[in-house]
Amino acid sequence: INALQRIKEAAKTQHKNMWMIGNGVELIQQGYNFICLTEPTMFLEAKLRELNDMTKAGRTSNSTSTKIVLP
C-alpha cells in the first residue's frame, strides 16, 4: 500500500477528507472530493508573469482577468 493510500484511508477512518492538489477531473476519478486546483504561490506567479508581459508590451492590465495560464 502506498503512502497516499495510507493517508487517505486514515483520514476516512476519522471521517475526514484528504486534501489533494492537482487535476480536478483526475482526482475525482481517483475518489478524492476535497480538491485544490492550484495553490496560492502558483496563482501569484502566473499573475506576476502576466503583469510583467503586459508591461513589456506597453499594455495596461485588467486586474480581474480570468485567463491566467498556471505553470
What pTM did the predictor assign? Answer: 0.45
- pLDDT, residue 21, reads 83
CA-CA distance, 48 to 29, in Å (whole number)?
A: 32
DSSP classification of residue 17: P
Q: What confidence score (pLDDT) does residue 1 get?
A: 59
What per-residue confidence (pLDDT) applies to 10?
A: 93
Say how far residue 13 (Cα) sits from the centre of its chain.
Answer: 26
Cα(30)–Cα(13) distance, integer angstroms: 18
35, 24 contact by CB (below 8 A): yes
CB 30 within 8 A of CB 19: no
**Please, what are the averages of pLDDT over each run of 10 residues along the chain (71 residues)?**
88 90 87 80 87 87 60 57
Phi, psi of 36 (to 5 degrees): -115, 120
